[in-house]
Copies of this chain bind each other. A is one copy, B any other.
């Protein structure tokens, strides 16, 4: 009858216990030996459940200290999943396009939010452009992503960035810097359609340099 896997039951039991005992994020949960005793299971089986929850980012373990309910704001599972999602060689276009999806969406969000658009960040960008320091597209876009406020979208974007073969490694040129000024103005005025158009044009312009196809990501 009860064919369900043991460790899945344990996952459920732990969840119930956490709820029952009203354990809050950051709090410590009982030790492995204690839990195994209480749930009447072997410690290794219990550990399988705990490790699963850890991989999901639901709990956090510190050797010598204990196991703690995680502040699940770290979507660690996205990392793990991404390595599997991208296991087959996706076309670079899909990665690139999906990244752009998140970027454009962030711009939309920013334009729709007057509080964001009225910030002084645009002036700060202009200052950075005027200075002769290196200016990277990724830095600029990342700040846009952060401004949009969707942390999950930011996380996904960041992952895609690492997988997209780094088309934007080099700093933007003087010409590309000038192209950015109208975009900043559009953002400031919450002119969404112009902002998106300008952004896409700018991105495609810069993208010209991404020719490497030998993508042997050896990272995590």
Q: Which of A's residues lie within 8 Å of B, judged by CB?
A: 5, 7-8, 11-12, 15, 18-19, 24-25, 44, 47-49, 51-56, 58, 72-73, 75-77, 80-81, 83-88, 90-91, 94-95, 97-98, 101-102, 104-105, 150-153, 155-156, 159, 219-220
CB distance from A119 to the nearest CB of B (A): 20
The number of times this chain is found in the oligomer is: 2
A interface, over-half SS: helix
Residue from A44, A87, A153, A219 whose CB has the most chain B CB atoms within 10 Å: A87
Q: Which of B51, B90, B152 contacts A48 (CB 8 A)?
A: B51
CB distance from A46 to the nearest CB of B (A): 10
Q: Which of B5, B19, B84, B151 contacts A87 (CB 8 A)?
A: B19
Q: Which of B7, B48, B81, B91 contacts A56 (CB 8 A)?
A: B81
Residue from A5, A15, A84, A105 whose CB has the most chain B CB atoms within 10 Å: A84
Tell whether, in the assembled complex, residue B151 and residue A94 are in contact, meaning their CB atoms are under 8 Å apart.
yes
Question: CA A5 – CA B11 in complex, angstroms?
Answer: 20
Tell whether, in the assembled complex, residue A25 and residue B219 are in contact, meaning their CB atoms are under 8 Å apart.
yes
Q: Which residues of B contact A105 (CB under 8 A)?
A: 101, 104-105
Q: Which residues of B contact A83 (CB under 8 A)?
A: 12, 15
